[in-house]
Structure 1
Amino acid sequence: MTLAQNEDQASAEAAVAHLLAESLLMIRYLAASDGDRPISDNRRQEQVHALADLCHNLPAWLDPTRRDRIHEGIAFMWRTASPNKRRWVRQCWDAIGYDYRWLR
């Protein structure tokens, strides 16, 4: 692998790891109770479901035996994501400076 390919690989792995971390934090926030009352807001449940749906395949692409094909996982996630999910992904990646223009 060339230096550029190594940097691209590392960037893709960092982008996937960042999405996973952000989605877990957001899911925990959305699923949190308000004092003694559990959250029963349907909107929050929908958001939790959307985040889990978006990221559920990503951990497998960080497996050492599959990391060399991580771009396939990112591309699949992008192709199957709704506009709202893509917007959230772009916000996450913009925050870390990941160049996702190759997905367009």
Structure 2
Amino acid sequence: MHMAILEIRVLTAAAHNNQSAESLDQRRERANEIANICHDLTPWLDPHRRNNLADGLRDQWRSAGTRQRRWLQTRFDQLGYDHRWLTELTPETAPSPAPNVR
């Protein structure tokens, strides 16, 4: 979540005068994609719902677009999280991780 907030801040920082309207729209769209991922994940991080975290991540993976999945993979890699239980399968068939997977 921390990395997402930093990335959103960079994407929404004051624009340079030489940026086109199209470039600004692309930055805004990317920031919105990241915000949507984080918004959907936040409830699953609540300590009272963590038993269902794998279900939440699987649902998030299934509903995410290609760019959002790539973003999630990159962030999982940065954290050293073994996301193969999600990323090696198609979004429609992703199972829950083994119980000892963090």
TM over 0.5: yes
Does the alignment pair 1:33 with 2:18? no
1:45 is aligned to 28
What is the TM-score normalised by the length of structure 1? 0.71
Greater RCO (CA < 8 Å, at least 6 residues apart):
1
Q: 1:68 aligns with which of 43, 47, 51?
A: 51
Corresponding residue to 1:101 among 75, 84, 89: 84
**Cα root mean square deviation, aligned:** 2.0
Q: Distance in 1 between matches of 2:10 and 2:69?
A: 20
The secondary structure found in structure 2 opposite 1:56 is: helix
**Deviant stretches of 4+, over 6 Å:** none
Any unmatched runs of 5+ in structure 1?
Answer: 1-19
Of Structure 1 and Structure 2, the greater helix share is in 1
* Equivalent in the alignment of 1:92: 75
